[in-house]
Amino acid sequence: TQLLEQSPQFLSIQEGENLTVYCNSSSVFSSLQWYRQEPGEGPVLLVTVVTGGEVKKLKRLTFQFGDARKDSSLHITAAQPGDTGLYLCAGYSGTYKYIFGTGTRLKVLA
């Protein structure tokens, strides 16, 4: 069974701080996605990484796919209250389905 473990599970930080969220697995994925989910809404795709070692930037968010395509990280620089939400990674196994991670709940205090 493929599992994606995210850490930390919860994170509460002050506005302006930096943070990193990790997504780890023992399985290799064809690609990996990061989503943000706000209360009462469905997850919204932030980025897809495909190549081992790939780094993508989305404004203050930096995403990295591990060289072996088993893990990924999301780094947020100078966090803002608008970044608050549940961050989810999802690995695509190539069997046409996504495996979602356990989630990281982020709260950014003003």
E strand map for 5-65: 5-7, 10-14, 19-24, 31-37, 44-49, 55-58, 61-65
CB of 17 to another protein, least distance (A): 22
Q: Which residues bind another protein (CB under 8 A)?
A: 4, 6, 30-31, 33, 40-45, 48, 50, 86, 88, 90, 92, 94-103, 105
Cα 89 from Cα 110, distance rounded (Å):
26
Give buried/exposed letters for 27-65 (b at 16+ CB in 10 A, else e): eebebbbbbbeeeeeebeebbebeeeebeeeeeebbbbb
Between residues 66 and 103, which has the closer beta carbon with respect to another protein? 103
Between residues 15 and 67, which has the closer beta carbon with respect to another protein? 67
Cα 88 from Cα 45, distance rounded (Å):
9
CB of 41 to another protein, least distance (A): 5
Between residues 18 and 72, which has the closer beta carbon with respect to another protein? 72
Between residues 18 and 102, which has the closer beta carbon with respect to another protein? 102
CB of 70 to another protein, least distance (A): 15
CB of 16 to another protein, least distance (A): 26
